[in-house]
Structures are given as structure tokens and as C-alpha cells.
Structure 1
């Protein structure tokens, strides 16, 4: 009788997280924190880059866009590479790329070199999250995946909150170079711990690499996201810089779908959609990420443009959301393993919808106590939504499908977040364009010399109109969040059963 292939982790004797799993989770979280922080920390440095490199905001924005596009382009290849080379080796290679890119970014001599090094950094950063999810899932097993996903959700909470705070402090106290250099000691620590803590790889025999799929999926996704990401700058979906890449990207992605369904080992395994749990998880994640991350674009801008807060202070004011999520995320992770994710996600999406509704009542002088309360409610909901949805997608997959499943969910998350941000920015821009006095007031709120020239009352009236533009835009997020309840109704509502690995069973 032939021994079945190693699953990467022994079946857990208890449903509690043991020390070995917690160590693996700690290393994964450290890598994920660096990757996600680097997306948000650079936003604070944009004005500094404009001055130091004498570049326009459109050019400097490529320091963010280049990172995001590299991250999105490399994600599709992660599932195949994990199966081919092993998750430990690939994770350490991704960390190495990320560290190297970070050091080179700190040494950039021009805006062009900084963008190039950010692309290199994004190649490594794009692999860290799906690989970390795969490693943790293999270590914990399907019966404990809810709790390990809750642990992996921590960096997703901390990134948007701590990024502006950390970036502002490093720039003020040291220089912009340190927002990248700080990754060197953290990255070397993560690399050393990964070498020690992660179990040895036992990769499968190599499947043929889907070169056609790569030539369709990676540039297709990158072009689509580039076009979508250009919408805020251009202010319309009809601009050539938006339409041309979106159309070409969509054609490539549609061609990939037809190709993937006819290929034995596609780059992204679309046959996973036959699994109803994953199918409804993808729909739920798409709507949730569009609403939640799109809304996440609005409040920092409201705080800075209407209320005149600095990026550092705006980051501090966002903290109640993280606190709320930290309270519910461990509980949600535990309950998902006991009763399934369905009921937990419905509870979470309801709270997110309630919290978002509170922001539809924003004014130029809305109490920060009310803002913090709405954020706290959203955080409670977020802790019960994002990682439980990820859990619903992955817990019914076999060991051999996990890498492909986590890759697919990360692609969906990245794409939906970009679409959400672009959607909210276009709706907000349309609202502000209807009230030129609001745009004047926003400009004057940061320029005392301009504000002094305005007639009495014009500034306050303009800021109130600007606040109304933000509040009206939040209704789009509320509608999307409410729609998320529909696919969430179909998520599993029972304790997950261990998936049957048919390949292992046949060998056994």
C-alpha cells in the first residue's frame, strides 16, 4: 500500500492553535504587514517626492501605481510557482525581492528610478499574501482555518491605519528614505524566521507552465487595473488613458477565460468555481471589497480636504475601525470553525452597512465622536467579514487546490478594491464639479493666503457643500454593502468538513 503524499502538516489532534501553527502565523503576519504597509505608507510621501524630484503629482503617482500593477501582475503566477517550487522557497524568494526593492528605493536618484524599484518591490510584495495564506492553511488544516485567517487579517487592518502614521513620523523625524529602509531589518528578520520556522518543502512533480495563460492573464489584469486606476486622475471613464487599457485588458482576460477552460493545467484554475462555497465567496468578496475599500478612500480625503487634518492626524482618527475589527476578528475566527462562515458574514456585512450609513450624514462640522463611532461599528463588521469570506472559499478545497484558491481570492480582492476606489473617486469628483465653490473652499482650507481673500461665509459654505459631496458619495458604498448580503446568504452555515483529496485517496 502506497503512502499518501505529505500534506504539509499533520492532522491536528485538537482544534486549538498549537505553538507550531502560531509561530508560522507570526512569520506570515510579519511579511504581510510589510507588504500592505508599503502600499499605504507611500501616500504620505507624495508631496515630498514632488519637491525632492521636481515632479508633477501625475508622475509621482506612479510610485503607487507601479507597485500595485506589479503586485497584481505577479499574483496569477503564484499558485503554479508554489506547486512547482514549494511555498517555503517561493516565500523566501518573494521576501528577498521585496527587501532588495526596498533598499534600492531608498537609494533612488530620480523619480524614474524610484518607480522602477517600486515595481521590483511589488513583484515580491504581490506573492507574500497568497503564499502566506497557503502556508497557514496547510499548517492548520481545514478545521482551524477560520482562526488562522483571523490572524492573517491583522495586517489588513493595521496597514491603512498605521501606514500614514508611520510614514508621516519617519518623514518628519528622519527623511523619506526611511519609509523604505525600515523594511531592511524587518525583512531580514522575517527571512531568518521563515528559514527556521516554515516546514520543509515537498513540491509536486512539475506541471507544465501555462505560458499562453501568463501572456493573457498577467498583462490583461495589469492593463485593466491601470485603466481603472487612471479614472481618478482623468475624472472620466471616457478618457483614452482609461478606455484603451481597460478594453485591451478586458479582451485579454476574456480570452484567458476561454483558454483556461480548455487547458489541463491553467495558470488560474477557473474550474474551482464548480465549488459552490468558493463561487459564492468570490461574489461576496467582490461586492464587499468594492464597497469597503472604495469607502476607505473617502474618509481620509474628507478629514484632510474638508476638516484640514494632516495625514498623520487623519491616520489617528481612523484608529476606531481597527480597534473594532480587533475585537471581533478573533471571535469570528473561532466561531467560523464551529458553525461555518455564513452567519458570521451576514452579521459583519450588516454592521458595515450600518456604519457606512452613518457617513451619509457628514457635515463640515460633524463631531469626531460620531465619526469614530461609525468607524468602530464598521470595524466590528469588518472583523466578521473579510477573513471569514476567505475562509469560506478555502476551507472546502483539497490540499492541492489551496495555492490556486488563495491566488484566485487575492486577485479578486485586489481587482475589486481598485474598482471600488475608482468608482468612489469618480462619483465624488462629479459631486464636487457640480459645486465649484466647494472646490475653491477645499483649496482655500490649505492656503491661508487664499482663504483671507474670500468674502465672509464663503469658506464655511463651500466646505459644507464639499462635505455633502462626500456624504452623497457614501450612498453608493451603502448600496454595494447591502447587495453583499445576497451572495452571503449562500455561504456555508455549518461546521466545515475536511475536504477529500481525491488524488491522495486514489494513491492510498
Structure 2
């Protein structure tokens, strides 16, 4: 297909075909962020990992995605958009194949990082292609198709992942992505047009390396802190120093360099700064339940992987409903009010989840997740509208890259913090329950308990210990959900700091 000089160089059929191909490729990558969630309990057992260790499979991928976004524009201009697109798909295929034959946790985390680095540019490039092949008056439709395609994949992925895990194992989940990605590669090779490279562009690699070092060290510190006893560990102290030094160098560099990686003047826009901070703190609330629930439902309720995948589906469907409804009204109402109302709904759903116990049923799981998905759709659209509502047009490309970086970094930090809190809550609860499991406790002397809870019997002691562990873990999950409730409500004052989203750029 010829190199395009303008959107008019394509027929309607060619545009539709190209849009379908690039949206499919983006959806395949986006699905990998959620398709593996249902498989985490099986991976945890197979790789002999704890819950905080297995979370690296998720957080490593998210951090890599965040790091891979900023240089995308420069790489695309330097080597050509189509070449970079095909290279990223090829790297993604390689990561899926390597994951399907991995045998250790270290290998899985390494290849998931590789998968994140390869996939981050895919999303940005697919969006750029979708915009460029359509004339301005049709770009809204193209973005609607692009958005729906990239939402449907992650929404359906947990159910598909649960089915594949049940009929095979977690490696099959990654292997199943290979033929889809191969199809995307050859379809893109044949039908996606090339855009000419621009050799003269420069990229602030010093600033990029500094922020990458700071983010990477900070993430590793949070991931490993609980396991290494935080600042009692020399490794944690050194990582904290590296993180602080990297972020300090980055801030000093953007304030003093002539052409920095990030122009600090962008933060003078109040709505952009408020939106960025709000997204950083809100983004973990999107993923934390999806990371915690599969382990909870398999370990404490013995649900099979497919059932867990199906139970996560209503959350995604609710999100689609929320995004669809929010898209119709965000331009007509003050998004600050919409955001506050949606955060209250989010807090209500996580409070309902904090009331779960070991006897929760299907309906107890479904209805909070449906409402939470709807709230998420409204919150996400409100934050985006507030963030860009007063920002000058020429700043939006730079702002979009920073927004994605902050969202992914906030998600990874939040997941690590939630897992750390779960471990601490569960450990403290187990210690409290164990203190009361002693022969002098009057409950063990009751006639109805004498035959079952015989503390002189090893079988009874083992059964009692397993029940203590289950109850302690349930307390850990419930407390995590309650923290999320407080977390959501604490974001309300941030929403009130923004200007009216209907005012427009100043």
C-alpha cells in the first residue's frame, strides 16, 4: 500500500481495514494485562512464590509499560512508524513464546518486563495510525472504535484466561497469544502504510534515564520492602537512595535544561496538575481488586479458574457501561461534581467488599463489581476531561505521554502497597488468633468442642491452624478493601481543587 500523504489517500474500505488491523493488534497486547490475573494463584503454586512475589508478574509489566511510553514518539519518527510497529509486535511474540516455556519466577518477571516494553509503543502507535488515516471530521468515530476495541480485549481476557488455565495451565495463556500476534504482524506488514522517518528529531535521553532509574528503584523498594524488613535492610536503604537521587536529577534537569524530556511549564495548568495527581492515586483502585480477588476466591472459596474469570467479567461490562454513559454527559456537566459522586459510589462498593467473609456467595461478588465497574468508567472519563479541559492544544501530546506514565506508575505502586498491607494485616490477624488457640481458652472446654478441637491431637491442631490461616487471610483481604474505601473518599478534596471543566482552555 502506498505511503500516505494525507487521510484522503485511502478509500473508505482501506481505512476500515487498517483501523481493524491496528485495533486488533492493540487489543491483543492490552489483553495480556488482565488475561493472566486469573492464572496468578496457579502460577504462585507452580513457581513456589508468595503473594507479594507473584505480584511482580503484574507490577513489572506495568512499570515497563510506563517506561516504554515516553520514547515512542522519537523512535517512531527516527525509524518509521510501521517499522517500529512491526518490531514491537515481533518482540511481543518472542516474549509470549519465552513466557510459555518459563520455569522460574525470575524468568516470568523478566519476560513480562520485555512484554511491557514491547507493548507500550503499540498502544500509542495504534492510536496515531487511527487518527492519521481518517480526516478530521471522522476522527471522533475512529477514536470511539479504537477505545472500544482496547476495552473489550481486557474485559473478556480474564474469562478466556480462566478457561485456558483450567484446560491446560498458565503457560497456555501466553502460548495462545502467539497466533493472534503473528496474524497481526503479517496483516500489518501487508496492509498498514508506512510513514516517512524524520532523522532530525532529538530526544532527552538523560532526563529519560534519570526518571527511569528513579521509578525502577522506587518500585523495587516498595515490592521488596516487606520481605526485607524495610530500612533494616541495606538493600532497601540503597534502593531508596538511588530512587531519590534519580528523581532529584530528573527534576533538576527539567528545570535547567534547554530542551528537557518534560517541559515544567505544563504544570502551571491547574487542572492538568490536579488531574495528574488524582489519576496517580486513583489508578491503583482499578487494578487492586483484580489482583487480590483471584487469589482470595481460589484459596478461600475453592472456585475454579473459569468461574473466577466469569466473576471478573461483570466488572468489565460495568466499566463499558460507565464509559459509554459518561462519554455522553461529560461535555454537558461540571466533571468535578461527576467525579465526586462517582468516587462516593466507588467507596460504597469497596466498603461492601470489606464486609465479605468466608461464606460469600456469587451474588455477593457480582453486584459490587458491577457498580464498581460503572463508577470506574465515570471516574476515568471525568479525570481525563478535567486533565485536558484547560490545557493548550500544543501541550496535549506531551501531556498524554506524561499522563500514561503517571497512571502506570501509580498502578504499580498501589498494587505493591496493597499486597504489602494484605501480608501485614493477615500476619497480625493470624498472630492474634493464634494467641487464643491454647488449652486454657474456655471455648475449647465446651462439650460440643471437646470431640472436634482436641489440642492433644496433631490432626486437630493442623485443622485448627488451617482455619486460623483462612480466617486471617480473609481479614487481610477485608482490611485491604476497607483501606480502598478510605482511599477513594480521600480523593474527593482533590477533585474540588480543579476548575470547572466546562470553561475550556484559558
- Asked if these proteins are the same fold (TM beyond 0.5), I'd say yes
Deviations 1:209-267 (A, max 9, x none): 22311331222222222222224655757544444323312320221111022223323
Q: What TM-score does the superposition give when structure 1 sets the normalisation length?
A: 0.77
Tell me by how many angstroms 1:481 deviates. Answer: 0.9
SS in structure 2 at match of 1:318: helix
1:291 is the counterpart of 2:298: no
Greater CA deviation, 347-356 or 135-144?
Answer: 135-144
Q: In the alignment, what sits opposite 1:300?
A: 294
SS in structure 2 at match of 1:264: coil
Q: Distance in 2 between matches of 1:59 and 1:354?
A: 30
Q: In the alignment, what sits opposite 2:502?
A: 494
Q: Distance in 2 between matches of 1:113 and 1:298?
A: 22
1:59–1:456 CA distance, 2 compared to 1 (3 A):
closer
* Contact 1:134/1:406 (8 A) holds in 2: no
1:415 is the counterpart of 2:409: yes
Q: In the alignment, what sits opposite 2:489?
A: 482
Q: In the alignment, what sits opposite 1:432?
A: 426
Q: Distance in 2 between matches of 1:439 and 1:145?
A: 57
- Counterpart mapping for 1:97-496 below 5 A: 97-108=91-102, 115-136=109-130, 148=143, 152=147, 155=150, 159=154, 162-174=156-168, 176-194=170-188, 201=195, 206-231=200-225, 233-234=227-228, 236=230, 239-337=233-331, 339=333, 341-394=335-388, 401-436=395-430, 453-454=460-461, 463-489=470-496, 490=498, 492-494=500-502
Q: In the alignment, what sits opposite 1:447?
A: none
Greater CA deviation, 34-43 or 458-467?
Answer: 458-467
Unaligned runs of 5+ in 2: 435-456
1:264–1:65 CA distance, 2 compared to 1 (3 A):
same
Deviations 1:14-62 (A, max 9, x none): xxxx99887666545433433333234445556766787x765688776
Q: Distance in 2 between matches of 1:432 and 1:62?
A: 19
Deviations 1:401-438 (A, max 9, x none): 44422221111111111221122222222221222268
* Contact 2:63/2:409 (8 A) holds in 1: no
1:426–1:432 CA distance, 2 compared to 1 (3 A):
same
Q: In the alignment, what sits opposite 1:71?
A: 65
Tell me by how many angstroms 1:98 deviates. Answer: 1.1
1:476–1:177 CA distance, 2 compared to 1 (3 A):
closer
SS in structure 1 at match of 2:203: coil
1:266–1:194 CA distance, 2 compared to 1 (3 A):
farther
Higher Cα radius of gyration? 2
Greater CA deviation, 69-78 or 337-346?
Answer: 337-346
* Contact 1:147/1:333 (8 A) holds in 2: no
SS in structure 2 at match of 1:267: coil
Tell me by how many angstroms 1:296 deviates. Answer: 3.8
Tell me by how many angstroms 1:282 deviates. Answer: 0.4
1:128–1:367 CA distance, 2 compared to 1 (3 A):
same
Q: In the alignment, what sits opposite 1:3?
A: none
SS in structure 2 at match of 1:260: helix
Deviations 1:141-173 (A, max 9, x none): 6997699379536645753x6444433432443
1:48–1:248 CA distance, 2 compared to 1 (3 A):
same
1:24–1:379 CA distance, 2 compared to 1 (3 A):
farther
Greater CA deviation, 76-85 or 255-264?
Answer: 76-85
* Contact 1:40/1:163 (8 A) holds in 2: yes
Tell me by how many angstroms 1:66 deviates. Answer: 4.8
Q: Distance in 2 between matches of 1:132 and 1:390?
A: 19
SS in structure 2 at match of 1:435: helix
Greater CA deviation, 329-338 or 410-419?
Answer: 329-338
Q: What TM-score does the superposition give when structure 2 sets the normalisation length?
A: 0.77
Task: Output the aligned Cα RMSD.
Answer: 4.1
Tell me by how many angstroms 1:315 deviates. Answer: 2.5
Q: Distance in 1 between matches of 2:63 and 2:372?
A: 28
Unaligned runs of 5+ in 1: 1-5, 11-17, 441-449, 500-508
